[in-house]
A and B are shown apart, each in its own frame.
Chain A
Amino acid sequence: MKYTIDQWGLLIALVMVCAAAGLAMAMRLHVAKNLLISAVRSLLQLLAMGFVLEWVIRQNQWVIVVALMAVMIVAAVQITISRAAGIPRGLGWPIFQTLAITTVLMVGLVAEAIIRPRPWYAPQVVIPIAGMMLGNIVGATAVGLTRFYESMKSRRDEIEAMLALGATAWEASRPSVLSSVRLGLMPTIATLASSGIVMIPGMMAGQVIAGLNPLNAAIYQFVILAAMASLTLVSTALILRLVYRTCFTADDRYQPIVSRETKKKRRS
């Protein structure tokens, strides 16, 4: 039995968003406009992804699957940069490396080693997994980067004292790196611990609605959550390892960064 949503269902969802926006306007929350724009944007982006995915599944060619993943990673880099606050310019390349490495690891481990689809590039398996992974690490990476640069700024005196005693740039950054990785990982750990008690995670819910065996859906969901938790740790650790030197000169002198926001202000 398959339950699909018809145009009336879609309409009800849109009416709900409009009602929420109206309520927000009445409460003078100043989020009504944002809410509507975001809702429309989300609908269009999801529909577009649906069309693209349908087409990619029909084509069933590995070149197209890999190309779509590359486009997703590039878009994710852009989203990470816009979400992180107080970071310097020029982090695009290290963020791209981080997202690319973790996505390849995720697809390699979860799709190829655990699910083992035939053919290996089966788009209906590989693309959703890459997408879920990117959604999670974009958040963790943005939080980790924001916290790292904040911490390096507030620890300035401590860092200078450590360097004066002969610490390397890495030794002086380590406390900030550790606290940022911890913070970036926290939502994922919380999801891991709470899933199944009050919350049925999206993937399991989807599979159950689609008529699959709930136990199988649960196992599937656990595999995804476990892989995501470990790879989120890998991604935040990796990005901070790649960027911590931006706070130092080549000979390990502490140098406060100029954030993207300040640079923009200065230019205007």
Chain B
Amino acid sequence: MFSPHFSPHAESLSSSALASSPAPDSARAPLLKVRHATVCVTGDDGATRTIFSDINLDLYPGQIIDITGPSGAGKSSLLTTIACLNPHGRAEMTFKGKDAHSINPHQWRAYVSYVHQKPILTGETIRDALLFPWTLSIRRKGNKPTDEQMRSALDRAGLADISISRPIADISGGQLARVSLIRTLLTHPCVLLADEIDAALDPVADQRIEAMIAEQAKAGMAVVRVRHRSLDGLETRVLRLENGVLSAEEKQAKSTAGEKRNSL
């Protein structure tokens, strides 16, 4: 299923053993290194406001990092800055040691994939929507997923009742969110930036898609999640973004999350 474009992914596969337990930050080179991430926006009154500045983040293969914090703290802005999508965001980044400026932005976004809060599908049918990434010039030579692969991904996401030839206009908000995530997962990004994709989902559907994410993380994908719900225990680290500062959440938070998960 891996397209030739994603050959760097193979490297991360070989290092997944190291990744499953978060390596000490100095032990080996991170998959993605973010330095001095800054977002400044100009308001309607013309005044400039800094949402955050100088945020640093290292991501290792297999890690799942959850970012929490009050709404408006800039969680989405941080993810879109890392994905090179935020016009107000600046950051010095490296991917597998290569400087972000030496990778063209479209290729960067194929490696470091952002999944939107508001899911939007294109085309007529579910199949069109899932194959959209292969209509783009960066993947035109890559191998498209087969109907069986699409089918099995939909099944695992709890969408067994949805045929891949179904018109996208017919599906509900929660189904839309899952199809949109599957569209990105099928492209096998090296880093997944998932922005409140659980917002429209019921707890069962949420568990299913988080399990799919965790499965790809085990194969070497690094994940940053901003979650709408409380922690689900899949995360390797929890960071809190507040008042422009990204810091480690207290240990306690994680153990309560674990308990919550058990009680589900």
Contacts and interface: CB of A to CB of B under 8 A. Distances in A.
A253 B84 contact: yes
Interface in B82-126: 83-87, 105-107, 109-110, 113-116, 118-120, 122
A164 B136 contact: no
A54 interface: no
A98 to B, nearest CB: 26
B116 A255 contact: no
Contacts of A162: 122, 132, 136
A263 B184 CA distance: 38
B106 A166 contact: yes
Interface of B: 44, 46, 83-87, 105-107, 109-110, 113-116, 118-120, 122, 132-133, 136-139, 180, 183-184, 187
Contacts of B84: 251, 253
A171 interface: yes
B106 A168 contact: yes
A150 interface: no
Nearest to A262: B44
A160 B116 contact: yes
Contacts of A20: none
Contacts of B136: 162, 165-168, 171
Contact of A165 (B87, B113, B119): B113
A264 to B, nearest CB: 13
A166 B109 contact: yes
Contacts of B114: 164
Interface string A228-264: 0000000000000000000001011111000000000
A161 B83 CA distance: 11
Given A164-B116, A165-B187, A166-B136, A253 B87 contact: yes
Nearest to A165: B133
A252 B106 contact: yes
Contacts of A165: 109-110, 113, 132-133, 136, 183-184, 187
Given A157-B116, A171-B136, A164 B85 contact: yes
